[in-house]
Amino acid sequence: MPESSAFAHFFNLGVDLLQNGDKQGAIMALNEALSLNPNSSHAYYYRGITKAEIGNYDGAVEDLKQALCITPKYLNANRQLEKIRQYLLGVDSTVLPLQSNNATQHYQCGRVRLHFREYQEAIKEFNQALQINPNLVAAYYSRGKSYYKLKKKEEAIKDFQTSAKLFCENNQPDKLAKWTPFELGESNREEAIFYLIPYLSKKSSYDEKRLAASAIHKLANSYKNISALVIRLLLDNLTYPAPQVRQYALKALSLINLPKYAFPIIQEIANSDPKIYNRNLAKTILENINSVPNGEFKHSDKSKPDNRYLSELKFFDAEEIDNSYNQGYFTEEAYDKSMDYGYVDDLSNPEDYLYNY
């Protein structure tokens, strides 16, 4: 089947399934359509309104915004975005009006403002939420995101550190799992190192590897006894083609208590890395290892990995990293379903691909 015919098949199947109430099936079909034509604003539009119906408002907003990026004058996408915005802000008549003394409602409104890039308004809502309830940890994190978007880095870092501290002290370190490498690096928490592991793995991108190594470099100033798995991944990244990934991995390794098996690997970088700044970093690491005499570097016998190493390796081999932009989860509520479906009304040139397979 030609690619254009395959796109038409999955696109029309997605719209059919949506109209028949099979929303998960519709999303799967539209995913296939977008894999064949990632520039289809209509496929993003229909996937967006489907996500809205199942309560995935974050995903809905992202898809509708993407539809507008591709087709800036997509009127229906604008309408649906505004409908979601008004609904989540409590303007819809089916939602209770905002109560001035309800911290959770202020927090929810703040997250909506954040998602729609109304950062100053979002901060005002988070401030009110925290004034009512200073223990609403997620509000610190979301306010930090808002500050960061406004390039107020100092305020952002302060909020990231406060939220990380409170999450960990309340036995909720798993809340850090969806933080970005930058946020984890600024958290000032040893627990954050564990959640940087996926960003160093073979599946991660250039930017993820670089930012994760930079984050570990920051954290290693306070926490030098890094786990064996993190050290192994940093050493693996010394073979990555991009020189900046090797550079940041070396910077992180320079602050860590290293096992002997790391020395020959670093020596190889010192001898043969194409970039002089990486060779110099590797040489500095080796010079600072006072326990190794006369520049001799030998592999030590590998001891049996400890239980922590094995548990980390098992966990991250089994899990896929979620690279989506994290702004938390909206409470799932029934979305206004008076949406404008149709195969023709929303399409500029329906004859190009609708029902022609």
78-122 per-position pLDDT tens digit: 888 888 888 777 643 333 344 456 888 889 888 888 888 889 999
What is the pLDDT averaged over residues 174-192?
95
What is the distance between the alpha carbons of residues 169 and 173, in angstroms, rounded to a whole number? 8
Other CB atoms within a 10 A radius of the CB of residue 55 amount to: 16
**Nearest-CA neighbor of 203 among 318, 332, 64?**
318
Token pair of 197 as six digits? 């592991």
pLDDT band at 290 (very low <50, low <70, confident <90, very high): low
232-281 per-position pLDDT tens digit: 999 999 999 999 999 999 999 999 989 989 999 999 999 999 999 999 99
Q: What is the mean pLDDT of the chain?
A: 80
Judge whether residue 302 has pLDDT over 50: no
Structure confidence at residue 343 (pLDDT): 34
Structure confidence at residue 304 (pLDDT): 41
What is the distance between the alpha carbons of residues 272 and 295, in angstroms, rounded to a whole number? 16
What is the pLDDT averaged over residues 314-322?
41
Percent of the chain with pLDDT over 70: 77
Place of tokens 């696109």: 11
- Stronger pLDDT, 184 or 85, i.e. the higher one: 184
Asked if 175 and 144 touch (Cβ cutoff 8 Å), the reply is: no
Q: Mind listing the domains of the chain with CATH numbers? A: 3-95+333-352 (1.25.40.10), 179-328 (1.25.10)
Structure confidence at residue 2 (pLDDT): 61
pLDDT band at 23 (very low <50, low <70, confident <90, very high): very high
pLDDT band at 134 (very low <50, low <70, confident <90, very high): very high
What is the distance between the alpha carbons of residues 231 and 197, in angstroms, rounded to a whole number? 10
What is the distance between the alpha carbons of residues 116 and 105, in angstroms, rounded to a whole number? 17
Asked if 216 and 193 touch (Cβ cutoff 8 Å), the reply is: yes
End-to-end CA distance of the chain: 9
Judge whether residue 32 has pLDDT over 50: yes
Instruction: Name the DSSP class of 176.
Output: G
What is the pLDDT averaged over residues 40-64?
91
Structure confidence at residue 353 (pLDDT): 31
Judge whether residue 298 has pLDDT over 50: no
pTM, full prediction? 0.65
Judge whether residue 320 has pLDDT over 90: no
Structure confidence at residue 86 (pLDDT): 80
What is the distance between the alpha carbons of residues 143 and 145, in angstroms, rounded to a whole number? 5
Structure confidence at residue 55 (pLDDT): 85
pLDDT band at 329 (very low <50, low <70, confident <90, very high): very low
Judge whether residue 350 has pLDDT over 80: no
Judge whether residue 282 has pLDDT over 80: yes
**Nearest-CA neighbor of 67 among 102, 26, 95, 34?**
34
Structure confidence at residue 90 (pLDDT): 63
Judge whether residue 188 has pLDDT over 90: yes
Judge whether residue 224 has pLDDT over 60: yes
What is the distance between the alpha carbons of residues 257 and 326, in angstroms, rounded to a whole number? 32
Asked if 140 and 103 touch (Cβ cutoff 8 Å), the reply is: no
What is the distance between the alpha carbons of residues 154 and 249, in angstroms, rounded to a whole number? 25
